[in-house]
Amino acid sequence: MTTPGTPAGPAPRAASGAAPAPAPGTPRVTPGAPFGRALCAMVTPFTEAGALDLDGAQRLAARLVAEGCDGLVLSGTTGESPTTSDAEKTALVRAVRAAVGEHVPIVAGVGTADTRHTAELARAAERAGADGLLVIAPYYSRPPQDAVEAHFRDVTDACGLPVVLYDIPGRTGTRIEPETMIRLAEHPRIVAVKDCAYDLLGTQQVLAHTELAYYAGCDEQVLALYAVGGAGFIGTVANVAARQFRSVLDAFDAGDTAGAARIQRRTIELTGAMMSAGLPGAVTAKALLGRLGLPSGPVRAPLRPAGREAADGLLAAYERLAAEVS
């Protein structure tokens, strides 16, 4: 894998008539997309008894790569990181690394409300074989921006891995403000952002002043962010529709912007059902994976499983998308 430790620049775009995109499962890591373009925020499979299902995680990870994911993000929001132990997070990285090999980037979520604890998780993820770290702003305490900046610098300096800043103020209660992003971009190992801030203006301001690789963390914004210089996506819906979302990027890179827009629009029904219907993405992703006979298992409390009606609706939306976009 290309070492993702150098600052990322704008993702290169293929001109119309360019060579076909690599086959699904072929890592596509470029200077502007340090972990590849198409990344899945993978669920953490559990057994029916609620234990970590490492065999299921390996099978799911291998399938996601075969379906077109360049890289995998573990122990993020969709991976139910608040309810997995430190030991489980480490074991998950090791198991997935063994399943996908050395050439598929793995980004490990290590964010907590505690800088010291986050640094400990960062070092553990590095030892387990992760290629990068996903780090959220400290939650609950809602520190001011100078403390947020210091937190990210301290965690980054705690190990040798490159860092993806995870801007998701709807969950943390604290925004990583654009001005803070611009200052943090000066650090040579802060290389990317998972953008869930719903602030396209602020995102473009950071893109205009830094070489941070921006990944869409909101599935409905994949094409919009890519079109203004984003690196790709880190998607929840990719757990079940990786090929379709990768097709958006492939069409855009080939110069078929109308085709990219058409595919993006066709994903919206499933995205809405999974992300905007009142249930967390971990719940809906696991419900649909289960209906498809793929590793998932239950969610951990306080989350509760989707009901039958919701699962039926998810499956119907998925089947319509699969029929429209192969």
- The encoded tokens of residue 117 equal 């604890």
Query: Within 10 A of 258 (CB to CB), how many other CB atoms are there?
Result: 9
User: How many C-alpha atoms does 83 have within 13 Å on its Cβ side?
Assistant: 19
Give yes or no: 89 in active site.
Answer: no
Helix (H, G, I), strand (E, B) or coil at 178: helix
The active-site residue out of 89, 166, 215, 286 is 166
Write 285-291 long-range contacts (CB < 8 A, 24+): 285/43, 285/78, 285/236, 285/237, 285/239, 285/240, 286/43, 287/311, 287/314, 288/239, 288/240, 288/314, 288/315, 288/318, 289/43, 289/60, 289/239, 289/240, 291/315
Helix (H, G, I), strand (E, B) or coil at 317: helix
Return the sign of the alpha-carbon dihedral for residues 170, 156, 88, 105: positive
The active-site residue out of 89, 140, 194, 286 is 194
Q: Any idea what DSSP says for residue 21? A: P
- 228: Cβ contacts below 8 Å, ≥ 6 apart: 200, 203, 204, 207
Exposed, middle or buried by CB within 10 Å (0-12, 13-18, 19+), for 315?
middle
Give yes or no: 226 in active site.
Answer: no
Estimate the crossing angle of helix 257-275 against helix 281-291, to 10 degrees: 100
Active site members: 166, 194
